Amino acid sequence: MKKIIAAFDGLRFSESTLDYAIYLAKQYDAHITGVFLRETTRLGYAVYETVISQSHTERNIMHELERTDADTEHQATALFERRCTAGGVPYTVHRDRKSAVKELVHESIFADLLLIDAWECFSYIEVNMPGWFIRNVLHDAQCPVMVVPKKFHPVGKIVFLYDGTASSMHAIKMFSYVLPGGKELPTELLCAKYAASSLHLPDNNLLKEWMKRHFPQTEYKVLKGTGKEIITLLGDEAPGVLVVAGAYHRSHLSMWFRQSLANLLMQETRAPVFIAHS
């Protein structure tokens, strides 16, 4: 891995995204591209509070809003540059001003890994997580995505989620290619199966034949139940676990009717989640 995109909302800067970006860039001698996004329809300043507290004309109010947002974005960019410089990490700043989703997906074509805060939404109204913005980025991104929590923890263990599908195996392979340093860490492979089904791993021989050559010290665990049992188990893990999952390969329509395991991971655990879809 040589190029990391760290995606930021310049009006609500995520320091954990920057922490993970610098941490990985140092490990892999990688370049960080800080992509500062902004939806053209969004203003960070509280419009209502401004209107009721100041006797400005509409033109003056809009000018004040834009000026305040520009100052906030400048401070965020300056912090990003200072931290990268202090960490000895090469960086570039991109300021994208059109559709945040489209701009970020386009940037992902030319990156090895995209880092983004799980709570990023480019809105002060939307509160459900993951929001519309994250769901669309995960569905359309052209490189693996690592969705990070609010607080940074150095990675000390890798957990692979495997359900026998090509998507879950693709995610494991992409992780091994993009973050090969993970092979030095303790690894565990989890698989949840309905109680009535066999507790053997799907394609057990083929899976272990591949894993033996990439992650030979992996521990295997099959749970009775569904993905919720995996969420419960991961919720008990100490900070520092990184979860690898294949997801968001379904159509937009089907995702409305079936909750993604990746969504539950972001909602109910404190772990960063590496997501890759084929």
Q: What is the pLDDT of residues 81-139, one digit of tens each?
A: 999 999 999 999 999 777 888 999 999 999 999 999 988 876 655 556 667 788 889 88
Give me the percent of the chain exceeding a pLDDT of 70. 79
Candidates 105, 106, 163, 160; CA nearest to 138 is 105
Q: How far is CA 136 from CA 3, 83, 100, 120, in A?
A: 22, 29, 11, 12
Residue 264 to residue 77: CA distance in whole angstroms: 31
| CATH node for 157-275 | 3.40.50.620
Written in H, E and C, the secondary structure of 228-278 is HHHHHHHHCCCCCEEEEECCCCCCHHHHHHCCCHHHHHHHHCCCCEEECCC
Q: Which residues have C-beta within 8 Å of that of residue 8, sequence separation ≥ 6?
A: 14, 17, 18, 34, 35, 36, 37, 76, 80
What are all long-range contacts of 205-211, with beta carbons under 8 Å and residues at least 24 apart?
207/162, 207/169, 210/169
Tokens 């033996």 locate to 212
Superfamily assignment of 3-148 in CATH?
Answer: HUPs (3.40.50.620)
Confidence tier at 255 by pLDDT (50, 70, 90): very low
Q: Does 44 or 193 have the greater pLDDT score?
A: 193
Q: Is the dihedral of CA 62, 65, 71, 75 positive or negative?
A: negative
Tokens encoding 215: 């992650």
The predicted model gives 180-205 an average pLDDT of: 86
Q: Is the pLDDT of residue 45 over 50?
A: no
Domain residue ranges of the chain, discontinuous segments joined by +: 3-148, 157-275
Residue 220 to residue 184: CA distance in whole angstroms: 17
pLDDT reported for residue 258: 41
The pLDDT tens digits of the residues spanning 57-71 come to: 555 655 666 777 778
The predicted model gives 242-259 an average pLDDT of: 56
pLDDT reported for residue 30: 98
Residue 268 to residue 53: CA distance in whole angstroms: 39
pLDDT reported for residue 116: 96
Which pTM was predicted? 0.86
Q: Does 195 or 267 have the greater pLDDT score?
A: 267
The predicted model gives 202-231 an average pLDDT of: 90
CATH topology agreement for domains 3-148 and 157-275: yes
pLDDT reported for residue 251: 42
How many residues comprise the chain? 278
